[in-house]
Amino acid sequence: MKLRHAAALALVGWYLIGPPQQGGPADFNIHAPLSKWKVIDSYDNIGKCEQGKSVHQDHWYDRAIADPVGTKAAIKDAIMLIWLNDAQCVASDDPRLKAN
């Protein structure tokens, strides 16, 4: 591998992205172009991204079980968990992230 190719690969980061809403508050469009998805966080590599997704899910799960059932906070936390369940790790140089 040439040095410039290795340098280019080293610059690639990873984004944890979540799908945009469509319709109701817990209705997410997982088929939307990735350019429409929201960046949740960024990471150095795919492993850290997947681990970061778990950390975010654990955080919102802990919040959800701490909130009284049926409260606005509990509903918001449940929606965040649904959103994070659909989140994906994508390389920062993925061409699908560019708007068409």
Q: What pLDDT digit, counting tens, does each position of 61-82 carry?
A: 999 999 999 899 999 999 999 9
- 19 Cβ neighbours under 8 A, 6+ residues apart: 28, 29, 30, 32, 36, 37, 83, 86, 87
- CA 15 to CA 98: how far, in whole Å? 13
* Cβ-based neighbours of 72, under 8 Å, separated by 6 or more: none
Q: How far is Cα 54 from Cα 51, in angstroms, rounded to an integer?
A: 5
Residues 34-43 have pLDDT tens digits of 999 999 999 9
Task: Kindly report whether the global pTM for this prediction surpasses the value 0.85.
Answer: no
